[in-house]
A = this chain, B = another copy of it.
């Protein structure tokens, strides 16, 4: 049902980048994305440096349909993943971040501290996820079901009927679902 798409996982963590400690979140996100039909690249971890993160995002976006980051979205002094991401986004897609924060906060109030942003670089969708293995996996699961559709729309091969006022609601389906 869901066409294959190319995903990349970028871990942002000083400790993981130095090799001081193993990245526990990246492999978990890879397994989850594969379950949703993606072929997944696990990129080398990068430190919490704005320019380094931005450069990695640009490079990964050029070869991927979806890039997810994990880490660096909190309030710690070195957390700058959202700022680095915004530096390289063409268009923001705040609905993904709002949905992940809201649903995560329902069970874990500290999720409101997460500052992640989402959006597009060219035809690639970028999602900032929190750092903890369970928090990142949970957030990704909240939006994973719409990723295959998002990828199709971004590729331009699919007129997004749900966003074209001239497309009509031919089938009577909710929001112009495709007949």
Contacts and interface: CB of A to CB of B under 8 A. Distances in A.
Interface in A79-127: 79-80, 82-83, 91-99, 101-102, 104-105, 107-115, 120, 123, 125
Contact of A163 (B26, B76, B162, B176): B76
A166 B13 contact: yes
Contact of A166 (B20, B75, B145): B20
B107 A93 contact: no
Interface in A139-171: 143, 145-146, 149-150, 153-154, 156, 158-169
Interface of A: 11-13, 15-16, 20-26, 45, 70-77, 79-80, 82-83, 91-99, 101-102, 104-105, 107-115, 120, 123, 125, 130-136, 138, 143, 145-146, 149-150, 153-154, 156, 158-169, 174-176
